[in-house]
Structures are given as C-alpha cells and as structure tokens.
Amino acid sequence: MGTPEFAVPILKSLKESKHEIVCVYTQPPKKKARGQKIISSPVHQYAEKLKISIRYPTNLNEDKEYNFIKKIKPDLVIVVAYGQIIPKKFLDLPKIFFLNIHASILPKWRGAAPIQRAIMNLDKETGISIMKIVPKLDSGPVMMKSKIDISKDVNYEELSKKLSTLGAKLILDSLNLIEKNKANFVAQNESEATYAKKIKKNESKINWSHSAKNVIAKINALHPNPGSWLDYNGSRIKIIKAIEIKKKGEPGKILDKNFTIACSEEAIQILELQKEGKKHMKAAEYLKGNDLEVGFKIL
C-alpha cells in the first residue's frame, strides 16, 4: 500500500526479492490542474509496468475492500506513504501482519510530513523506522530503525530519495527477521513523541522575520513542491536555492543587486528561482532582464 514516488523503490525491492506481491493498493488517479488530464500515482504506474493487480479505492472503509483483504489472506501488508488510515477492522484480521515504513526515527515526527519537518527544524539526522501498525497514528512498536545524517544544503527531493533507498533495504531485512521468528518489537516512548503536520499552503510564503538559516531550511524542505515563494512587484517568484550571507538590514529589504534579502538574523542571497509560469533559472539570468530596486521591502 503506497502512493508517491517515495514508495516506488520499496515496491521495486519487494518485487525483485523472493517474496510474492499479491496486490498493490494506491490512491485513486487524480485530475491534473492544467488540462484536467487524469494522472495515476507513481506506485500505480510502476505496478502496471510490473503487471501486478492494482486497487485504488477512494475509501478503505468499504466492505468490499475488507472482504477482499480477508479473502486473499496475505501474510503481510506493507504500508508506505499510502495516504489513508488503515481501518481498525483490517488490523484486527487474524494472521495478517500490517507493517509501516515511516521516514523518521520514531517517536519523533509521526504524521504526514516527517522529511519536510526534519529539514525545517534543522535536525542533524533522520532515518527510517519499520513498525507494526496500530490504530493510533504512527505509534506502533518498532522492530527496526536506521539513521542517516541531514546535510546542511539537502532539499526534500534529495533526502526523500536517500530515505526511500534505505527503506527498500530495511524492509527486506525486516521480512527476513519475521520469517525466522526473530523480530523484536519495541514500544515507543510516548513522552518523546512529536508530530509532523501536513504542509499547508500558507506556510510556503517566505517569512522574513525568521533567521536566514530557517528561511533556507524552509526553501530546502519545500522543494520541489509546494515550494517557497516571495512576491516582488506583483510577480510571484518561487525560490529554488539560496545561501546565507553575513549582512544585516530590515527584514525583507533587498540589500544589493545580487538579490540579497535581509532576514531577522543575517540575509539570504537567491541563487536559483522560478517565476510563475516560467522555467527554473539561475538568479543571474533573471537579473539580466530585471533591475532590482535596492531598499525595496518585500512583505
């Protein structure tokens, strides 16, 4: 059970192993905003290539989905960024193990956006946790964890790929232990739990009252989607890449012609950007055709 690109390497790893995939569950196809084209999820597209049976219910609470799982009697159901809560009656089915691959070191960053929140929080490390699913969100006992460092300039897309690759290896190690009856599930410490809330659209506008470090962390955490943006002269500009510059000024003010903008602590210099409806470009290319007003305050 999985939906985004993050889940694809894990599906690939399972397909190439000795284990048999009897069915794939994913989120239903969606209409793309422009042109209203119907787009299947990355997991859906990959499962089609592999000629695996695919199901994409809008709601798992339907009796037919419960009866289907009951009928096929899988040994395990592996859930990774699926996008729906697994109903309790599924979890209560006898002799079926429900495992979740979660992109954090649990109990830290339970919830929808663990990779983004770890980057935004300037965490030094993150990782993968493999746990048994229980009715409470991401709170089941953990059988395996593996950590990786978060480098200063890494963005969501890059870190997500690293964690997905790690998850693809770890799930096979986990299945090996389960087969040998050597799996050891350890309860999470509830007092240490933190939550990674879903990213909201209003978070993506850059807040200049934050420090340069935090502004850059958010730019990295929200790349490529939804992206961090600013409004300059009525034009929305998505910031792809920026660096910290040791300059001071009123937060939001353009400090020089190199697209350096003051934050509450230090400043950022924009290196790569994307104007609304335009292609991703280097800031230097943008500046050739756009004369910056030094001293202008971006709200």
Percent of the chain with pLDDT over 70: 99
Shared domain check, 156 and 99: yes
Q: What is the pLDDT of residues 64-102, one digit of tens each?
A: 999 999 999 999 999 999 999 999 999 999 999 999 999
Q: What is the pLDDT of residues 206-225, one digit of tens each?
A: 999 999 999 999 999 999 99
Q: In the chain, which ranges are continuous DSSP H helix? A: 8-15, 42-49, 63-72, 88-91, 114-120, 156-179, 212-221, 283-289
- 69 Rama sector, left if φ>0, alpha if ψ -120 to 50, beta otherwise: alpha
Mean pLDDT of 151-156: 94
Last residue of a domain, one of 147, 180, 196: 196
Any idea how long the chain is?
Answer: 299
- CA neighbor of 72 nearest in space, from 21, 109, 110: 21
Shared domain check, 117 and 12: yes
pLDDT at 27 over 80: yes
Q: How many domains does the chain have?
A: 2
- CA neighbor of 238 nearest in space, from 218, 258, 214: 218
* Residue 33: predicted pLDDT: 65
* pLDDT band for position 298 (cuts 50, 70, 90): very high
pLDDT at 275 over 80: yes
Last residue of a domain, one of 165, 196, 227: 196
* Distances in whole angstroms, Cα of residue 95 to Cα of each of 69, 74, 77: 12, 8, 11
* Residue 37: predicted pLDDT: 84
Q: What is the pLDDT of residues 162-181, one digit of tens each?
A: 999 999 999 999 999 999 99
Report the distance separating Cα 145 and Cα 195, nearest Å. Answer: 18
- Looking up residue 251, the CATH number of its domain turns out to be 3.10.25.10
* Residue 34: predicted pLDDT: 65
Q: What is the pLDDT of residues 283-294, one digit of tens each?
A: 999 999 888 999
- Looking up residue 113, the CATH number of its domain turns out to be 3.40.50.170
Shared domain check, 45 and 149: yes
* Residue 21: predicted pLDDT: 97
Shared domain check, 220 and 167: no
| Cα dihedral: 110, 114, 119, 124 (round 10) | 50
pLDDT at 35 over 70: no
Let me know: does 9 contact 164? Beta carbons within 8 Å. Answer: yes
201 exposure class (CB count in 10 Å sphere: 0-12, 13-18, 19+): exposed
* Residue 277: predicted pLDDT: 86
pLDDT at 268 over 90: yes
* Residue 233: predicted pLDDT: 86
Residue 175 placed within a domain = yes
pLDDT at 32 over 80: no
Report the distance separating Cα 7 and Cα 140, nearest Å. Answer: 20
Shared domain check, 133 and 28: yes
- Residue-range definition of the domain harbouring residue 82: 5-196
Indicate the DSSP class of residue 160: H
pLDDT at 136 over 70: yes
Shared domain check, 133 and 25: yes
Shared domain check, 256 and 228: yes
* Residue 60: predicted pLDDT: 95
* Residue 289: predicted pLDDT: 87
* Residue 109: predicted pLDDT: 98
Residue 141 placed within a domain = yes
* Neighbouring-strand partners of residue 262: 267
Shared domain check, 226 and 171: no
- Mean pLDDT across the chain, nearest whole number? 96
Mean pLDDT of 108-136: 97
Q: What are phi and psi of 251, to 5 degrees?
A: -50, 125
Rounded to the nearest 10 degrees, what angle do helices 156-179 and 8-15 cross at? 30
* Residue 70: predicted pLDDT: 95
Shared domain check, 215 and 113: no
